[in-house]
Structure 1
Amino acid sequence: MRHFGILFVLMITGFVTNAQSVRGTLMDPVEGTTVGGATVQLKNAGDSSVKATTVSDKEGKFLFSNLSMGSYILKATSVGFENLEQNVALKDSMPDVDLGDVYIPKKTTTLAGVVVVASAPPVVQKGDTTQFSANQYKTNPDATVEDLIKKMPGITVDKNGNVTGHGESVKKVTVDGKDFFGNDATMAIRNLPADVVDKIQLYDRMSDQAQLTGFDDGNSVKAINIVTRGSGMREAQFGKIFGGLGTNNTYNAGGNINIFNGDRRISVVGNFNNINAKNFSDQDLLGVLGGGGGRGGRGGGSGQPSGINKVNMFGINYSDKWGKKINVSASYVFNNANNLTTSNSVKQTPLGTDSTQFTYDNSTSSSNNNNHRFNMRLEYQIDSSNSIFIIPSIGIQNYNGTSHDLTQSIDNKGDSINYQLANGSYHRDGYNIGNNLMYRHSFGKRGRTLSASFQTTYTENEGNSYNQQYTIDYKKNSITDANRYINNPTKGSNISGRLSYTEPIGQKGMLEFEYTTGVQKNQADKKTYDYDGTDYTLFNPGLSNTFKNQVLTNNGGVNYRLGRGRDNQFFVGVNVQNSRLISDRVYPVPGSVGQSFTSFLPNLRWMKKIGLYSNIRVFYRASTDFPSISQLQDIVDSTNKLYISAGNPNLKQSYTNFGALRYTYTNTKTSKSFIANIMFRTANDYIVNATTLKEGITYTKPINLNGYKSLNSFFIYSMPLKFIKTNLNLTGGYSYATTPGSFNDNIGNTTTNNYSGGITLSSNISEYVDFNLSYNTNYYNSSSNLNSRGSASRTNYINQAPGVQLNLLSKNGWFIQNDLTSQIYSGLSQGYDTHFWLWNAAVGKKFLKNRAAELRLSAFDILKQNQSITRTIGTADNSITDANTRVLQQYFMLTFTYKLKNIGKGKASSSDGEFRHREWRDGPRGGGGGFGRGGGGPMF
């Protein structure tokens, strides 16, 4: 009864499971060849009774058909190989479970007292999933998942915990296929220990709606799944607590605890510090934390967190299985961040062949930001033909901030143009509520399905600010002193629904007919009051407005898919979309603008395995983007006398073409791999800010321009250097972008080129010796013809970053750690070309039983050289901004850590039998395999 009320609410959404078969290919992990003639059994997990038996064919393939829902154990035996056992669960709306390549361990051989044991290959490719075996990458005993994945080719993590995989930003991390703190990738990699990981799987995760049908809707994101070790993890408790005090009143305390009890998993995380240490990612629903102001072409940063941060954070994650039909996961996170940032910058804006404006800015800002996040995912399998999903989320944010800016502009002759002193205080409260409800029904005919989804989001922000500005305009010989209060509440909602019907065509084909409709509404009500000497009572109609906009969308299409397996699959389709954009100005002068757009949106996807070790993926999709409510408001905003802006109610939607080509080569026999990822994008009616710079005052207005083009490429080659037990990774990349713009009534383009390369030597010796040697360089080139007709201005700069990390652990528990990195800049503005080193080190001792306790003395920025330097290229005006921001500098800290680790002794088997990337096709993609501890990959 305690679940009945919940389930009654869920009956309007859904997802179905109808798994009926299990297939896969047995592979030799050492030779990289298939294993034919092996005996393969499928047993019931409950009583170990044999459900079915078969023999793998000459290509190593096996198939079990006509199976009912439930949990099974896959067992494979063959002469010369160890017995393989792996968990398999048939559920979650899949007519087949395709385990992909299943690695069966070679027989252990004893030679004169020497034991030779085969091991799983470090990297294997399964469809569009790259799978890394964790035990092939050696780390220290106290390493986190972040430390582990940094050793894996093609995966990088910056100082703020942002993960990049194969050149794309990783947006989601799951644990055994289940949500872990919603979409916060940083939470998982910084709070889970590396020694509980069996595999890391990097893949393209389809949206929840696309997983209903298996037809990509263009909303895929790069994701990581963490597969934990063996069945022993089903009964485990592990984590740590720590506390440290340091010089300059620094402190760092917190910890995490993970309790696994069968299907129930609970994780609790906390962190409290003033040393810029964040174990979560920032999520900003109010839009008050970001920066950049729409600028592009940023590079040359040091990767240091901005300013000085004090962090208080607490989170809890829960996942479980309620009965046989309900899977649930939920999380709550609270974080409080206090930030103090001081920076200085110089901005160069070319105005012609012999004229340049220089703008110098010194700023100090402080903020206190509180954020509450709740995420939930509930899946209810009603029966073998009907299922429902509910995926709600709630975000609540409170922000208070202050700023102090001193800005001065001069021309290239040294004459003053303007001067401004500005102070401000800001307060905003807001919340965002979203829900995704899905339902799916599977008919009697295999492959014939009907699915429906209903999505809602609602956001509301209440905000106000106080602004004081003292401005001197030397060209006009005028002084302005403004003191204002601004109240600016906003509201927004988005409601959409989708219907999809799939019909099998032949043995390997599938058709999808789909229709989506939605309405998006936004409202802004800005009121401005001037100071009367006593209070803010003087209403300013020129800086006040009320504006509404509405977007109505109807989209229908047909898609065709050919092929069952992920190794050879082809998709093609086209949608027709009609959109109506209605903009209403309520105040000060009523007015309305309506526009209608009809667009054809083709899409294509092709995946093909080439030989034993290579595969290729080709992707293309067209899409549209709508202007925001702030871009559509046609009221002039002169709140800041030096930066005056206006909206444009006649803006059109932009039309974008996006394509990608990915080639992967992973030789499981030699452990060599090569990955090439190339992406391109073009856009018509691209929305840019038309900019006019006149007598030191900047005027902007959004317009549509054609001609946006970009190309991004990423290449990586990895191989082991066995003679020194080290992995070698070589990376390279090239990116290009042409961005149209309008500056001082001259329409042109800004073109940027970025060439990057790097080399990394990552040790794979043992847990006692861990080192990384790296060198990365980026060369940036930018040119623009925006500033004067018939000529182009150019800029070039280089950023180099060598580094070395060395961790040594003795067998009696003593350890020493060193992390030395450098940033070398050349080509920046005078005073910003610099070369500095950041040296961090620690020494300590592990003690107590199983070395559960640790005492560490650490030193940060030993050389007192830490800096944060960035360069930003303004594509709207070809400006160049070099900035130096204050960062945390030298301190020393003594930290005590106590680790908890109690893992059950369950027999080695697959630990990801519950992981399903819910994509409808003739079987879940990728995954399978595993060696030793077993464990298939994600069964997508």
Structure 2
Amino acid sequence: MTKFTSAFLFLIFSATGVYAQNGSLKGTIQEATTNAPVRGASVVIFLEKDSAKNEIKSTVTDAAGNFELNDLPKDSFLIAVSSIGYQQLIRPVIIGDSVKNLGVLHFTRQGKDLSDVTIISKAPPVAQKGDTTQYSASQYKVNPDATTEDLIKKMPGITVDKDGTVTAHGEQVKKVTIDGKDFFGDDASAALKNLPSEVVDKIQVFDRLSDQAQLTGFDDGNSVKAINVVTKSGIKNGQFGRIYGGYGTDDHYAAGGNISFFNGNRRISLVGNFNNINQQNFGSQDLLGVTSSGGGRGGGGRGGGNTDNFSVGQSPGISKTNAIGINYSNVIDKKVTITGSYFFNNSNNSNESVVNTETFSSPKNLFSTQQSNSIANNNNHRINMRLEYKIDSSNSLFIIPSLNYQNYNSSGLTSLQNFYGAGDSLNTSINRNTAEREGFNIRNNIMFRHSFAKKGRTLSLGFNTNYTKNDGNSVTNAQYRFFNDAAIVDSLQQQLYDNNTNGHTIGGNIAYTEPIGKIGILQVDYTPSVQKNKADQQTFSFDGQKYSMFDSTLSNKFDNTITTNNAGLNYRRSKNRDEQLSFGVNFQNARLESQRIFPIVSSVNQTFSDILPNAMWRKKFSASSNIRVFYRASTNFPSVNQLQDVVNLSNPLRVSAGNPALKESYTNLLSGRYTYTNSKTSRSFIANVFLQTASNYISNAIYIAQQDTVIQQGIQLKKGSQLTKPVNLDGYKSLRTFLTYSMPINPIKTNINLNAGFSYSRLPGLNNYTASITNNYAYNTGVVLASNISEYVDFNLSYNASFNNAQTTSTFASTNNYVNQTAGFQLNLLDKKGWFVRNDITGQSYSGLSAGLNQHFWLWNAAIGKKFLKKQAGELKLSVFDLLKQNQSIVRTVTGAYIEDAQSQVLQQYFMLTFTYSLRNFGVAAKSFNGEFRGREGMNRPVGRNPSF
């Protein structure tokens, strides 16, 4: 009978409660190096399934090191052997109805007894582990109730914008994991805002490879900047979090919280957020392309058709939020790892905005002022799952599905005025608009990897699917006035637009790696993909009672298919993890097929053949410095909404149309990063540079009517009206640099972080068939003084300045200079009795903007309160928002076609009283009789490129 069969039968009998009392266990304990018997060692046995580890029987070894335990029930046990001067020995054992002889067990001596010696070690604030930058959380002091987001703000090279966007080493963070496990999918904000800083041991910043690239080890160009949060060892078992509720003046309220249950590898986290004060501890999914922040050009937008699954920050205006979510992760049988999450959020947003735009045109530029009031309701559901199954030592399977659903409706009133200059008005409009949209996105990615007996020889297979659907309609009721040369012309427009899009993608990947020599690996891969999209726009005019008059001239049915076949050959040479060189080339053939089905059948078929080289070099020069250089060429295809040649006349002043003749764009990206960290002096320096060029860059061409009535591409335009159409333009370039230097100022226990950067973009444009180039230069500098005194004194002092210069050259010329300065001071004081005072002061200065939007203001938030109850778990806080009543929100957007300044509605002063209860129950792992047993905890490495713990 095999051991497996015996164990199986044993479990069957155990489950029925049948026990025999005649089992015995014996063995011999010997010293590992000398094989001498160990006398007087304590031998204890307890049930493996007993979390309290209650002793069943115990004994001590005799002079020959022998022991024996009798009358044991048939079950699974753990045997623990301990003795002074030796490392504790723990072994699993199954007892049957006979004598179980463990034979000789070797006991290992401990090192020199250091019980009377105190060793104090100080982890370096920043260290470089391979290509992972690692920050030690213990070296950055924050208040006890600070979040992980508060903690990383103190770390050099990491910044957090007011909307929650995290930037690390000059790149936006797209992924945050906790101990290598997903937390609410790709939502970086959810992890950082809902995890208390006191549970954090390390913060790791690295370039996370795509799931497919992690299997092969070759970067496929889909890596993203990621953060992995390493929790303290004691947190692997515990419960922690906080709940809060507050009410304030003008019926402002805020309630919610988060709570996590960690039990070894099983982790459950709950989050909730209910408020009307613009608090958002998560990133919003925007499948419909309707909730992204920014002023927008209004009227002529082609909302919808965005099939990407991405997160956006807080929308402009004032939002009422209701959100709840649950995240689960577990490691099962050491072979199966599963993570999953569900998140729901509802947002009711109201906004009043002013948008000033300068559009480049010939013979003179066009100016516009847009004022709008809007109300929007957005519902969002998202489900993410991940299953990792290690079948055996040679085979692994990954299944990664996701489902996202969004429902959105809005109503608004917008007034727009276009003019060439003061007293030279072209047209005005008042537009009442309502819209309803809903859509969903279902994705699944299945990957399999087989490792052959020869080290480095692997076969990886991938299969991915994506299905998206985006349906909706909008109603426009607008009045227009045109100031023609001869007379003033008024018109009324009442229309309903149905705009539905759906699509699906089926793709696969096969990759084979073969070792070449001792340090080389060759990869051959093939990736086919078929993407099909359908767009259907129908327009109806008002007949006096309802929208029933079908307008075929503004309706269109359009199909688009993109078929790609990509094959590559790549070579990687790696002496060790500190030095690696890889290079390769991919050959891609793509077919772009566009077919108009209604009103007139036509088709445009294009074929593209591309050579896509790539290279990466990483080298560690010393224990403190390393460099990474990366290059890749890639292509980007236009969306179905950009290709669909239908006119959107929902706003005759801002008309838009698609372009089925659009080509793919071809992009070259070169980046470099140098990192220096000195653990002895706690100094660090990080330098990044990004250079990008693109041919057939997809931009918007703008035509502005100069006469009273103009027929342009079959569309009738009034004087001053704009027609926007996507086109391919050459000449796009961008350059970004980012430098940060950090060092401690020991006399005042403070870290100083200095940063500087320069960015340049060359944006091609086409205005009234005249080519233009906008060169945008931006110089950035900043300093942060972050306290490192204690948990009772926490302050941050910061200053940032951005100097922007945009120069447009063509038959016309335009220069726009813009300066944005931000100063901040955060001071949190806490005494041992629980009294605290908090201040957060931010000063903003804008100059060089359009008329009426230059602003200088201070936003001062303050709070005072008291912590009480056992372990100061309770907190009562009185806070005030915008103490000086000066809050503002202004955003500038620069493109090759226009420059836009947008001012949005913001919260004004309010007071609030809030009660918070914190749960801190850490390190409750089961312990043995002598306190040394820690269970079978494990540390999971983050899924990425060699992050180190």
Partner of 1:349: 359
Partner of 1:158: 161
Q: 1:109 to 1:132 in 2, by over 3 A?
A: farther
Alpha-carbon separation, structure 2, partners of 1:107 and 1:834: 67
Matched, 1:822 2:824: no
Matched, 1:275 2:277: yes
Superposition deviation, residue 159 in structure 1? 1.5
Matched, 1:120 2:141: no
Identity within the alignment, %: 56
Partner of 1:904: 923
For the residue of structure 1 that corresponds to 2:285, the secondary structure is: coil
Q: 1:843 to 1:325 in 2, by over 3 A?
A: same
Partner of 1:515: 526
Q: Residue 357 of structure 2 contacts residue 369 of structure 2 at CA under 8 Å; is this kept in 1?
A: yes
Matched, 1:412 2:437: no
Q: Residue 293 of structure 2 contacts residue 315 of structure 2 at CA under 8 Å; is this kept in 1?
A: no
- Structure 1 counterpart of 2:464, from 416, 439, 455: 455
Q: Residue 177 of structure 1 contacts residue 912 of structure 1 at CA under 8 Å; is this kept in 2?
A: no
Alpha-carbon separation, structure 2, partners of 1:909 and 1:713: 47
Q: 1:165 to 1:107 in 2, by over 3 A?
A: farther
Q: 1:402 to 1:822 in 2, by over 3 A?
A: same
Letter of the 1:755 partner, please give it.
Answer: Y
Matched, 1:773 2:797: yes
For the residue of structure 2 that corresponds to 1:709, the secondary structure is: strand
Matched, 1:837 2:861: no
For the residue of structure 2 that corresponds to 1:640, the secondary structure is: coil
Alpha-carbon separation, structure 1, partners of 2:332 and 2:813: 65
Matched, 1:439 2:448: yes
- In terms of Rg, which structure is larger? 2
Partner of 1:328: 338
CA deviations on 1:760-794 (whole Å, 9 max, x unpaired) are 100000000000111100000000114x2xx5321
Q: 1:910 to 1:730 in 2, by over 3 A?
A: farther
- Structure 2 counterpart of 1:378, from 377, 387, 391: 387
Matching of residues 235-254 of structure 1 within 5 Å = 235-254=237-256
Partner of 2:150: 147
Aligned residue-pair number: 808
Partner of 1:310: 320
Q: 1:619 to 1:733 in 2, by over 3 A?
A: same
Superposition deviation, residue 475 in structure 1? 1.7
Matched, 1:586 2:607: no
Q: 1:709 to 1:772 in 2, by over 3 A?
A: same
Matched, 1:738 2:740: no
Alpha-carbon separation, structure 2, partners of 1:313 and 1:908: 40
Superposition deviation, residue 144 in structure 1? 0.5
Q: Residue 358 of structure 2 contacts residue 899 of structure 2 at CA under 8 Å; is this kept in 1?
A: yes
Alpha-carbon separation, structure 2, partners of 1:146 and 1:595: 47
CA deviations on 1:194-243 (whole Å, 9 max, x unpaired) are 0000000011000000001000000000000000001x222201111110
Q: 1:910 to 1:526 in 2, by over 3 A?
A: farther
Q: Residue 208 of structure 2 contacts residue 943 of structure 2 at CA under 8 Å; is this kept in 1?
A: no
Q: 1:715 to 1:325 in 2, by over 3 A?
A: same
Matched, 1:492 2:486: no
Q: Residue 273 of structure 2 contacts residue 323 of structure 2 at CA under 8 Å; is this kept in 1?
A: yes
What's the TM-score, normalizing by structure 2?
A: 0.83
Superposition deviation, residue 290 in structure 1? 2.3
- Structure 2 counterpart of 1:171, from 148, 169, 174: 174
Superposition deviation, residue 706 in structure 1? 1.0
For the residue of structure 2 that corresponds to 1:233, the secondary structure is: helix
Superposition deviation, residue 410 in structure 1? 2.2
Q: 1:836 to 1:291 in 2, by over 3 A?
A: closer
Q: Residue 742 of structure 1 contacts residue 748 of structure 1 at CA under 8 Å; is this kept in 2?
A: yes
Letter of the 1:608 partner, please give it.
Answer: K
Alpha-carbon separation, structure 2, partners of 1:110 and 1:776: 50
Q: 1:689 to 1:382 in 2, by over 3 A?
A: same
Superposition deviation, residue 914 in structure 1? 3.5
Letter of the 2:899 partner, please give it.
Answer: I
Superposition deviation, residue 911 in structure 1? 12
**Greater CA drift, 867-876 or 543-552:** 867-876
Q: Residue 841 of structure 1 contacts residue 860 of structure 1 at CA under 8 Å; is this kept in 2?
A: yes
Q: 1:545 to 1:275 in 2, by over 3 A?
A: same
Superposition deviation, residue 163 in structure 1? 0.7
Alpha-carbon separation, structure 2, partners of 1:766 and 1:501: 53
Q: 1:909 to 1:741 in 2, by over 3 A?
A: farther
For the residue of structure 2 that corresponds to 1:542, the secondary structure is: helix
Alpha-carbon separation, structure 2, partners of 1:635 and 1:841: 53
Partner of 2:820: 799
Superposition deviation, residue 348 in structure 1? 2.6
Alpha-carbon separation, structure 1, partners of 2:112 and 2:555: 75
For the residue of structure 1 that corresponds to 2:279, the secondary structure is: coil
Superposition deviation, residue 881 in structure 1? 2.2
Q: 1:387 to 1:837 in 2, by over 3 A?
A: same
Superposition deviation, residue 747 in structure 1? 0.9
Partner of 1:813: 834
Matching of residues 608-687 of structure 1 within 5 Å = 608-687=619-698
Q: Residue 127 of structure 1 contacts residue 607 of structure 1 at CA under 8 Å; is this kept in 2?
A: no
Superposition deviation, residue 640 in structure 1? 1.4
- Structure 1 counterpart of 2:785, from 737, 761, 775: 761
Superposition deviation, residue 323 in structure 1? 2.2
Matched, 1:552 2:566: no
Partner of 1:3: none
For the residue of structure 2 that corresponds to 1:704, the secondary structure is: strand
Letter of the 2:355 partner, please give it.
Answer: S
Alpha-carbon separation, structure 2, partners of 1:745 and 1:666: 52
Matched, 1:699 2:701: no
Q: Which runs of 5+ in 1 are unaligned?
A: 1-45, 47-82, 86-104, 296-302, 928-936
Q: Residue 839 of structure 2 contacts residue 862 of structure 2 at CA under 8 Å; is this kept in 1?
A: yes
Alpha-carbon separation, structure 1, partners of 2:494 and 2:617: 60
- Structure 2 counterpart of 1:257, from 247, 256, 259: 259
Letter of the 2:745 partner, please give it.
Answer: L
Letter of the 2:941 partner, please give it.
Answer: R
Matched, 1:889 2:920: no
CA deviations on 1:663-695 (whole Å, 9 max, x unpaired) are 000001100000000001000111111111123
Q: Which runs of 5+ in 2 are unaligned?
A: 1-47, 49-86, 90-110, 298-312, 706-718, 926-931
Alpha-carbon separation, structure 2, partners of 1:271 and 1:705: 45
Letter of the 2:890 partner, please give it.
Answer: I
Alpha-carbon separation, structure 2, partners of 1:735 and 1:586: 44
CA RMSD across the alignment: 2.3
Partner of 2:51: none
Superposition deviation, residue 705 in structure 1? 1.3
For the residue of structure 1 that corresponds to 2:506, the secondary structure is: strand
Q: Residue 245 of structure 2 contacts residue 255 of structure 2 at CA under 8 Å; is this kept in 1?
A: yes
Alpha-carbon separation, structure 2, partners of 1:588 and 1:305: 37
**Greater CA drift, 627-636 or 414-423:** 627-636
Q: Residue 461 of structure 1 contacts residue 489 of structure 1 at CA under 8 Å; is this kept in 2?
A: yes
For the residue of structure 1 that corresponds to 2:649, the secondary structure is: strand
Letter of the 2:397 partner, please give it.
Answer: I
Alpha-carbon separation, structure 1, partners of 2:702 and 2:114: 71
Q: 1:895 to 1:292 in 2, by over 3 A?
A: closer
Matched, 1:226 2:226: no
What's the TM-score, normalizing by structure 1?
A: 0.83
Q: 1:159 to 1:110 in 2, by over 3 A?
A: farther
Partner of 1:422: 431
Q: 1:108 to 1:884 in 2, by over 3 A?
A: farther
Alpha-carbon separation, structure 1, partners of 2:140 and 2:610: 49
Superposition deviation, residue 292 in structure 1? 5.3
- Structure 2 counterpart of 1:847, from 852, 864, 868: 868
Alpha-carbon separation, structure 1, partners of 2:178 and 2:237: 16
For the residue of structure 1 that corresponds to 2:144, the secondary structure is: coil
